[in-house]
Amino acid sequence: MEEFFKVASVNEIPPGGKKLVEVDFLPVAIFNIDGKFLAVEDVCTHDGGPLAEGELEGDEIVCPRHGARFSVKTGEALSMPAYEPIECYEVKIEDGDILVSVD
Ligand code: FES
């Protein structure tokens, strides 16, 4: 069974906002895209850049190291120099809290 961890409350991350958290020893970036919360591994597939430190443009995160873009909805790599998708994680909201599973 999937295990969900509480990472933040919904009012900590406004629309367009992001937060770096740790889930089960993994760095995870949480995004609020128009009120929907999404979670991805905070590791760029090009060279390990910290994605939560990049700019969020719509539903795309720009890696702060060399500028690769990823969809935070699908994890897809949208521009060079990254080719491989980033890992996306399941999110659920319970009683105003954001919970993430990294199973
Ligand atoms: S580490 Fe992210 S683009 Fe190079």
Query: Does the domain made of 5-101 have the CATH classification 2.102.10.10?
Result: yes
Torsion-angle region of 48 (φ positive above 0: left; ψ -120 to 50: alpha; else: beta): left
Please identify, by atom number, the ligand 1 atom nearest to the C-alpha of residue 63: 2
What is the CA(47)–ligand 1 centre distance, in A? Answer: 5
Please identify, by atom number, the ligand 1 atom nearest to the C-alpha of residue 44: 2
d(CA 18, CA 38): 9
**pLDDT computed for residue 33 by the predictor:** 97
pTM here is 0.94
pLDDT per residue, tens digit, the chain (103 aa), is 789 999 999 999 999 999 999 998 999 999 999 999 999 999 999 999 999 999 999 999 999 999 999 999 999 999 999 999 999 999 999 999 999 999 8
Determine the residue of 47, 70, 79, 84 to mutate for testing ligand 1's pocket, defined as the one with the most ligand atoms within 8 A of the Cβ atom: 47
